[in-house]
Structure 1
């Protein structure tokens, strides 16, 4: 079977079943799993499918509206906990850290075991998670215009405050990463996160593997300019290799 015919068969399968696995496609098309992974990555790069762990799913199956932080808490919970604990290991005692909005970052600050930290955030849910941590951290809440859907404070006031500060490490979440582009749903929220990263000596982005090869409305930062992408162990080897050309992948 020609490659063009194989790609058409894959698209038809994804369109009909909404989700297909690499194993299923390899068996039906009588090719290796590696060949199917290459085909899926090619289709994902052209925005014809959404690449997910173990297979692919229909892009139109994804919600076109941004989910609230409460809804996001229910998605990929196991992966987020894994990533959050890995991120905790990058932090050392007595550091000042910037933590942007995101449910994985809520879990990160909730799981911190260090005794002495300064945590600065513009996310109300992250602030609450840090406040409820058993350790008595020095917490700073950045003010600004409140965006209810994400629980983040942003805009001119938030940006001005962040520009006066310096951090040992900055952590941000994303709605999607496509090649070198870190993307989010809201321009102002992305701008505020970008300033937090700019004022951090070390910069990290946290994203479970479902966010990879997927983009949202606004590109707010370049993956080449961060020190690491922290993701879960379920990342496809070829996807990991692709993103390793932009930054260090921690999994």
Structure 2
């Protein structure tokens, strides 16, 4: 079977079953596990499937069920760590930074090396990751209504607190980016992140390549209004070219 036919077949299987393992595909197509993994990685990079541990699942423009932050930690963990370390390079001594909810941002604050920093967040998991960093940072936890699935504090209380602050740099995550639309699953969560960015001198969005060319329920910010998109170095050239129209791509 030609590679093009094999990729087409894999897409058909994933579309029909929603989730498929490497072993299932290898047996069905009578090729090695290594060949299937290469195929899945290629389809993942082009945004046609979502590569997860042991296999792949269907990617739709809008997920019907939002994953919890604990579940998201298990997806693309290697890629997220790469992005997190890249984001760390954009943080400098004595800055005040806003960090929104997101598993990549948890990794970012855990890996920060600067010695003196003020971190403001409305994410309990991000706060905990920053608290366990070996550096003794000045941490501020924004209160509000607690959204259990993402571990974020939202609503009027959070928004009012953030609106009184100013930050050197702001970092947010997304559930998806399609062209210039930065999207998330929750309108309230998006509003709070938007305020954090509005009050930041420099604005960055972190997103592994599975988030690109996909969207979720609520557009909360415009990619043209941020200073950079931090993503993986494996981003496909045509995808990078597209997003470079709207902001600087850090990879």
Q: Which residue matches 2:28? A: none
Give the TM-score taking structure 1 as reference length: 0.80
Q: CA deviation at 1:154?
A: 0.4
Q: Which residue matches 1:212? A: 212
Structure 1 distance, partners of 2:59, 2:130, is 35
Give yes or no for the alignment of 1:71 onto 2:74.
no
Q: 3-state DSSP class of the match of 1:75? A: coil
Runs of 4+ off more than 3 Å? 9-13, 16-19, 49-52, 56-63
Give yes or no for the alignment of 1:244 onto 2:241.
no
Distance of aligned partners of 1:166 and 1:76 in 2 relative to their CA distance in 1, 3 Å threshold: same
Q: 3-state DSSP class of the match of 1:101? A: coil
Q: CA deviation at 1:234?
A: 1.3
Q: CA deviation at 1:14?
A: 1.8
Distance of aligned partners of 1:61 and 1:152 in 2 relative to their CA distance in 1, 3 Å threshold: closer
Q: Which residue matches 1:163? A: 163
The number of equivalent residue pairs is 218
Distance of aligned partners of 1:186 and 1:61 in 2 relative to their CA distance in 1, 3 Å threshold: closer
Q: CA deviation at 1:59?
A: 3.4
Q: Which residue matches 1:14? A: 11
Structure 2 distance, partners of 1:171, 1:60, is 25
Q: 3-state DSSP class of the match of 2:125? A: helix
Q: 3-state DSSP class of the match of 2:240? A: helix
Q: 3-state DSSP class of the match of 1:84? A: helix
CA deviation profile, 1:24-51 (whole Å, cap 9, x unmatched) = xxxxxxxxxxxxx9xx97xx7xxxx558
Give the TM-score taking structure 2 as reference length: 0.80
Q: 3-state DSSP class of the match of 1:204? A: strand
Q: 3-state DSSP class of the match of 2:232? A: coil
CA deviation profile, 1:167-201 (whole Å, cap 9, x unmatched) = 00000000000000000000000000000000000
Distance of aligned partners of 1:110 and 1:128 in 2 relative to their CA distance in 1, 3 Å threshold: same
Q: CA deviation at 1:58?
A: 4.0
Distance of aligned partners of 1:210 and 1:119 in 2 relative to their CA distance in 1, 3 Å threshold: same
Q: Which residue matches 1:222? A: 222
Within 5 A, what are the aligned runs for 1:77-226? Answer: 77-226=77-226
Distance of aligned partners of 1:171 and 1:60 in 2 relative to their CA distance in 1, 3 Å threshold: closer
Distance of aligned partners of 1:117 and 1:60 in 2 relative to their CA distance in 1, 3 Å threshold: closer
Q: CA deviation at 1:223?
A: 0.2
Q: CA deviation at 1:144?
A: 0.1
Structure 1 distance, partners of 2:133, 2:78, is 20
Q: Any unmatched runs of 5+ in structure 1?
A: 1-8, 20-36
**Kept in 2: contact 1:185–1:218 (CA 8 A):** yes
Q: Any unmatched runs of 5+ in structure 2?
A: 1-5, 21-41
Q: 3-state DSSP class of the match of 1:115? A: coil
Q: CA deviation at 1:57?
A: 6.8
Q: 3-state DSSP class of the match of 1:126? A: helix
Question: RMSD over aligned Cα, in angstroms?
Answer: 2.6
Structure 1 distance, partners of 2:106, 2:60, is 29
